[in-house]
Amino acid sequence: MQSRPAHRQVTARHTGAVADGTLGGGVTDTPPRPVRIMPLGDSITVGLNSTGLAGYRDELLGHLHRLGHDACFVGPCANALQPQGDPDYAAVCGITIEALTPVLPRWVPAARPDWLLVHIGTNNMYGPGHAAASALLRTFVDTLLRLAPSAGILLASIIPSRLPEWQAHIDDFNRRVREIAGDSGRRGRVFFVDMASALHASPQGGDDLSDLVHPCDQGYAKMAAVWRDALHARLPAPEGGPILNPNPHLQTPWLSEAVPRARGNVPAHIPGWTNHGVHPRHGRLAGLDNGSHAVELRPATGLSGMVTRLATTPGRPVRVTFRARADTLGAGPDRSGPASPARTFGVQADGHPRATVTATDEWRTWTYDFTPAGTGTDLRFTPETGTRSARGPLVTDVLARASAS
């Protein structure tokens, strides 16, 4: 269900306690392999009526990171307003089981999920077709098993409704959902998740819903906790302590290569990061197609790179690993300038000296160690100033982990 290659880190170290200097890079580089999770369903998976339209996804990713799991979301859809975490998902507002099934061959193989979080069927409950929903769900699940033969499926009962008539349909459907997950032919690949009992709905309101069927923020938070528990019980043991940054693989819905001229110098949105002069690059540039995007640090006066806020604990050491290389792609629509790219940039945690990194023509993995003094620490990646180059180094896979103990 999730095969994770070994992650070798041959890196140099900087302890924030020494003077500024240049770090040495490792001679080998293997990109991290985050667990690829596909949130799959309808408007409840989209996050309709939630703050930031992220539904349960931001909260869930935060839970997994705090548990130490390196995870990312995958899917063909992206939330351009995602406030913190990974913006990818696979869902359509108003869609039924039978309408989503024929889309799966386009979505699932391309995303290569390790786990699918399935919450589907709400839109089948409203009319006389509700009785056929369980048979449609069997076909849906079997289609997923065929399209993603190495993935696991968390199959959730659907959340309650405020209307008693719809709720009767939902109760009957959810009994069938449990049966489908428990069928012997699907055992070990499909796991039932009791989402329905986690949320409360009342005809009088004052519950976990924002309308007749969609959760409010409180309801989405409860969904995130249920998904968290189901995943944590089945994922490989974390490779380290808590991950402190919300979007370590720099997932973004706005890639500079997609609209290089129309967007001009408008900063690209990278959820969880503040951008003051970086351009995102397509995931293939990050190496071995691990799903990451890379960012190019733009070396120009007034551009200070990018910064993310880490949820640190005073006195608990933090190790930041990141990958970097020079932008050797040459000139392009948004890569004009001299042939020689800038190769140096800085990495710095608040209250610690700035360390200087010199990128090579190949991806190298680096580490930066520091001990925070406060409950929150800004981590900055800054380009060199005063250079005439329009192409700065590329950075990706920035994982800030607290010590395991």
pLDDT in tens, 81-133: 888 999 999 999 999 999 999 999 999 999 999 999 999 999 999 988 899 99
Same structural domain, 53 and 161: yes
Do 219 and 360 fall within a single domain?
no
Q: Indicate the pLDDT class of residue 258, thresholds 50, 70 and 90.
A: very low
Residue 341 has pLDDT above 90, yes or no: no
Task: State the pLDDT at residue 349.
Answer: 94
**pLDDT (0 to 100) of residue 333:** 41
Instruction: Among 232, 264, 297, identify where a domain stops.
Output: 232
Residues 205 and 66 in one domain: yes
**Quick one: 392 and 269 in the same domain?**
yes
State pLDDT tens for residues 313-327: 999 999 999 999 998
Share of the chain above pLDDT 90, in %: 71
* Domain match, 267 and 286 both: yes
Average pLDDT taken over every residue of the chain: 87
The answer on 263 and 154 residing in a single domain is: no
> Would residue 373 count as lying in a domain?
yes
* Domain extent at residue 175: 35-232
Taking each helix axis as running N to C, give the angle between helix 217-232 and helix 57-66, from 0 to 180 degrees, rounded to the nearest 10: 40
Average pLDDT of span 160-177: 97
Q: Are residues 324 and 385 in the same domain?
A: yes
pTM here is 0.90
15 in any annotated domain: no
User: Are residues 255 and 288 located together in one domain of the fold?
Assistant: yes
In a domain, 241, yes or no: no
Lowest mean pLDDT among 11-25, 76-90, 202-216: 11-25
Task: Specify the higher pLDDT residue, 62 or 362.
Answer: 62
Q: What is the pLDDT at residue 7?
A: 31
Question: How far is the C-alpha of 333 from the C-alpha of 344, rounded, in Å?
Answer: 23
Contacting residues for 53 by C-beta, under 8 A, at least 6 apart: 46, 47, 79, 81, 82
Give the CA distances from residue 298 to residues 158, 253, 287, 344, 394, in Å, rounded to whole numbers and listed in that order.
46, 19, 20, 11, 9
Query: Does residue 8 fall inside a structural domain?
Result: no
| pLDDT value at 155 more than 90 | yes
Domain count, the chain: 2
Element (H, E) at 60: helix 57-66
Give the CATH number for residue 59.
3.40.50.1110
Question: Is the pLDDT confidence value at 19 over 50?
Answer: no
In a domain, 12, yes or no: no
- Residue 72 confidence (pLDDT) above 80: yes
One domain for residues 293 and 310? yes
CA distance 154 to 110: 19
Based on the fold, state whether residues 325 and 373 are members of the same structural domain.
Answer: yes
* Rg (the chain; Cα; Å): 23
Q: With 80 as the cut, is the pLDDT of residue 26 above it?
A: no
Residue 271 lies in a domain: yes
One domain, residues 165 and 301: no
At 291, is the pLDDT very low, low, confident or very high (cuts 50, 70, 90)? confident
Asked whether the predicted pLDDT for residue 48 surpasses 50, the reply is yes
Indicate whether 161 belongs to any domain: yes
Q: Domain containing 298 — which CATH number? A: 2.60.120.260
Residue 5: pLDDT over 60: no
Bridge partners, 305 (sequence order): 276
Q: Is residue 378 pLDDT above 90, yes or no?
A: yes
Which range (263-267, 271-275, 276-280, 360-364) has the least confidence?
263-267
Which pairs count as long-range contacts for 202-208, CB under 8 Å and 24+ apart, including other chains? 202/162, 203/162, 203/163, 203/164, 205/162, 207/162, 208/159
101 and 212 together in one domain: yes
| Strand extents, DSSP E, 76-151 | 77-78, 88-91, 115-119
